[in-house]
Copies of this chain bind each other. A is one copy, B any other.
């Protein structure tokens, strides 16, 4: 199928889906055995199933599709001062051993986003953002996000 190559092999998602599907089918079997729904309103019943699994499919797709963009260190304008270079200092990034994700988090931090907003933007959970930022603080040897931003800006790690 067309979308197969767009899907990642996230087993947890698939497992969750499988379990929910079996759970629903199990309930159906129960209902069938007890003649509660089946002889009463089959069309309504089928409709519910359809809607339910449509939602499930949508959920599945949205969680399995890999977000296309990974890195977006966007620099609309690079202001170049005649004396001081405003380019991003790759050496400093390596010196502090910052990962790609940590750098993304740092940049979004400097844009004033909360952890929650960063999580939404990067399609990851709030906890993960916390982990990244926590590691970032250790690596940069700072205590707060404002300090991290300040240091990152000073070292030209952040897109100005």
Name A's B-contacting residues (CB within 8 A). 3, 6, 21, 24-25, 28-29, 32, 38, 42-43, 46-47, 49-62, 65, 67-85, 109-114, 142-151
Contacting pair B25 A146 (CB below 8 A) = no
Contacting pair A146 B81 (CB below 8 A) = no
Question: Which residue of the partner chain, among B49, B78, B82, B150, contacts A46 with CB atoms under 8 Å?
Answer: B49
List the number of copies, as a whole number: 2
- Give the 3 A-B residue pairs with the shortest CB-CB distance, closest first: A57-B57, A112-B147, A61-B61
Question: Which residue of the partner chain, among B53, B58, B76, contacts A50 with CB atoms under 8 Å?
Answer: B53
CA distance A67 to B144 in the complex (A): 28
Contacting pair A72 B75 (CB below 8 A) = no
The listed residue with most B CB atoms (<10 A of its CB), out of A68, A82, A109, A146, is: A146
CA distance A104 to B56 in the complex (A): 35
A–B complex contacts, Cβ < 8 Å, 9 sampled: A21-B50, A21-B54, A28-B46, A32-B43, A57-B58, A58-B60, A61-B62, A61-B65, A76-B76
Which residues on the B side are within 8 Å of A149 (C-beta)?
A: 112, 146, 149
Which residues on the B side are within 8 Å of A52 (C-beta)?
A: 53
Contacting pair A62 B59 (CB below 8 A) = no
Q: Which residue of B lies closest to A142 (CB)?
A: B112
Q: How far is the CB of A114 from chain B (nearest CB, A)?
A: 6
Q: How far is the CB of A148 from chain B (nearest CB, A)?
A: 8
